[in-house]
Amino acid sequence: MNAHVEETAFLSFICPGCHQEIEAPVDMASQETECPTCAALIHVPDESEPGTLWALPATQVNGPSQAQKDAMKSRTIRIELPDNW
């Protein structure tokens, strides 16, 4: 039995304090957490912000290329669920 969770979905958004792009598990939607970069209290949105890693390419027919996705990933900091979640 493999306990690995493959279905984790993420939200991505921009920290209003330091403009760092952040990705957080959808389980943290609507929660408040601390920015990993500037430690500001941030509110995790219900949906990814447009232009961030996990935003749906609603207005783009082809979506971002793999190179664009890689670039977006490399600029995004992932936060994890707290241990006491």
**In the complex, which residues of this chain contact Zn ion (CB under 5 A)?**
15, 17-18, 20, 35, 37-38, 40
Q: How far is CA 41 from CA 16, 18, 37, 52, 73, in A?
A: 10, 11, 11, 20, 22
Q: Which is nearer to Zn ion, 16 or 82 (CB)?
A: 16
Residue 34 Cβ vs Zn ion, minimum distance, rounded to whole Å: 9
Rg value, the chain, Cα: 14
Closest CB 4 distance from Zn ion, rounded Å: 30
Q: 20 vs 33, which CB is nearer to Zn ion?
A: 20
